[in-house]
Amino acid sequence: MGGSRLRIRNEFLASLVFLAIVALLPVWVISPYWRGLLVVSMYFALLAVAWNLLAGYAGQFSLAPTAFAMIGAYTTGLLAHHYGLSPLIGIPAAIVVSGVVGMGLGRVVFRLRGPYLALTTLSFAEILRHVVRNAHEITRGEFGLRVPALFDSHLAYFYVFLGLLLAVQVGLYLMLRSPAGLYLQAIRDDETAAASRGVNVVFWKTTAFAVSGAICGIAGALYVHFSEIASPQIGHIFETGLVLASVVIGGMGTMIGPVVGAFLVEIASEQFRAIGVNHMLLFAFMVIVVVRFFREGLWGLVMLALGRRLAGPRRRARPAQAGGS
């Protein structure tokens, strides 16, 4: 167990170093375009971290991270649009709503595993997107909802997002090094064994869904105040693909991988878009190659280059099972 904690600590420290570098970037990065890009990167980093908590640490392959971002986005968006409430009420409301919906979803799907969980969460996300897209009277459908801005400058958004990302990383670190982290990883590695050792599987799965949903929700809420428009595109399946790509390319089940991965994916996306290359094509290809040939992602490669053996829960020793089911 000590190895696992040490690993998590090292990854956490590495992610702090990375965020510190990011914090200094506005000194050199002056153009609003690039600052905006960094803000969007941090939005994706929040989603990636939240999804990594569910998929990487708790082993729950939800395909609904952007659905929760959409819930957060529309909670604050609808409150502002219909009731004229300020973001100061809208954003906390977004956290609460997305967290509660996440808890509800977790409660509903706790019995499902593997493919069934992925399918159910994907269906949940698609239903939600269809409803948002078609309920014109309330959400204005594809036209999107105008949302008031929170600040005037990109720099303010930049530091708000950075602060949030930092807070989420610290919170996650504290959670993962507490017994809760071990429970989640035990559930991922073998749910039945975890339950037999007294881990309250239902409670911890539900909690993971709620926390992950709330993080996505606040990210989505802040994001629409930044972009000043809430549209069903936020919950599109390609956006889920980008989140998944960030985590897988960066290194799944690590504290730093999703953060770095999100920055790489988002910034590379923009560069490829600028030269007219389809960025999703490239990331989808990278996801396939990474998951097929080097599971540990970029962080795994870095660790390999540093010559350290990657001990830890990703290398699960389980007796080889011959045969199918």
Partner 1 sequence: MLTLEAIVLGLIMGIFYGLMAFGLTLIFGILKVVYFAHGESFMIGAFAYSLLALWLGVPLWLAIPSAIVVGGVIAVVVERLLIRPLYEKFGDWQAMRDEYAIIVTFGLSLFLVNLANQIFGPYPFRGPELTDVARFELGPMIVGGHRLVAGAVGVVVLVAAYLFIQHSFWGKQIRAVAQNRFGASIAGIDTRMVSMMVFALAGGLAALSGALLAPLFHASPDVGVLPALKSFVIVVLGGMGSPIGSLLGGLILGVLESLGALYISYTYRDTFAFVILIMVLLLRPQGLFGERAREV
State how far the Cα of 46 lies from the Cα of 259, in Å rounded to an integer.
8
Q: Which of 232, 246, 229 is nearest to 280 (CA)?
A: 246
Which CB atom, from 149 or from 281, has the smaller least distance to partner 1? 281
Q: Which of 39, 48, 58, 63 binds partner 1 (CB under 8 A)?
A: 63
Both tokens assigned to 114: 């593997």
Give the nearest distance from C-beta 153 to partner 1 in angstroms.
35
> At CA 218, angle to CA 92 and CA 134, rounded to 5?
100
Both tokens assigned to 59: 């082993």
Adjacent-strand bridge partners of 146: 229
Residue 130 found at the interface with partner 1 (CB under 8 A): yes
Q: Which of 124, 161, 173, 204 binds partner 1 (CB under 8 A)?
A: 124
- State CA 98 to chain mean position distance: 13
Report whether 70 contacts 234 (CB < 8 A).
yes
- State CA 165 to chain mean position distance: 11
**CA distance from start to end of the chain:** 30
Give the nearest distance from C-beta 58 to partner 1 in angstroms.
12
Interface segment toward partner 1; rule CB under 8 A; list 96-104, 146-154, 235-243, 260-268: 235-243
Interface segment toward partner 1; rule CB under 8 A; list 6-14, 44-52, 222-230, 283-291: 283-291
Between residue 86 and residue 115, which ones bind partner 1 under the rule CB under 8 A? Answer: 108, 111-115
Residue 84 found at the interface with partner 1 (CB under 8 A): no
Report whether 256 contacts 267 (CB < 8 A).
no
Give the nearest distance from C-beta 294 to partner 1 in angstroms.
13
Which CB atom, from 165 or from 287, has the smaller least distance to partner 1? 287
Orientation angle between helical segments 154-177 and 2-24, nearest 10 degrees:
170
Between residue 192 and residue 231, which ones bind partner 1 under the rule CB under 8 A? Answer: none
Specify the 3-state DSSP secondary structure of 64.
coil
Residue 291 found at the interface with partner 1 (CB under 8 A): yes
Q: Which of 76, 90, 70, 48 is nearest to 130 (CA)?
A: 70
Report whether 230 contacts 147 (CB < 8 A).
yes
Interface segment toward partner 1; rule CB under 8 A; list 35-43, 53-61, 74-82, 198-206: 53-61
Residue 126 found at the interface with partner 1 (CB under 8 A): yes
Q: Which of 20, 25, 170, 281 binds partner 1 (CB under 8 A)?
A: 281
Q: Which of 86, 200, 271, 278 binds partner 1 (CB under 8 A)?
A: 278
Which CB atom, from 151 or from 238, has the smaller least distance to partner 1? 238
Which CB atom, from 309 or from 316, has the smaller least distance to partner 1? 316
State how far the Cα of 47 lies from the Cα of 81, in Å rounded to an integer.
25
Q: Which of 33, 151, 203, 285 binds partner 1 (CB under 8 A)?
A: 285
Burial class (CB in 10 A: 0-12, 13-18, 19+), 270: middle
Residue 273 found at the interface with partner 1 (CB under 8 A): no
Binding site for partner 1 (CB under 8 A): 55, 59, 61, 63, 108, 111-116, 118-120, 122-124, 126-127, 130-131, 134, 189, 237-238, 241, 244-245, 248, 278, 280-281, 283-285, 287-288, 291-292, 315-325
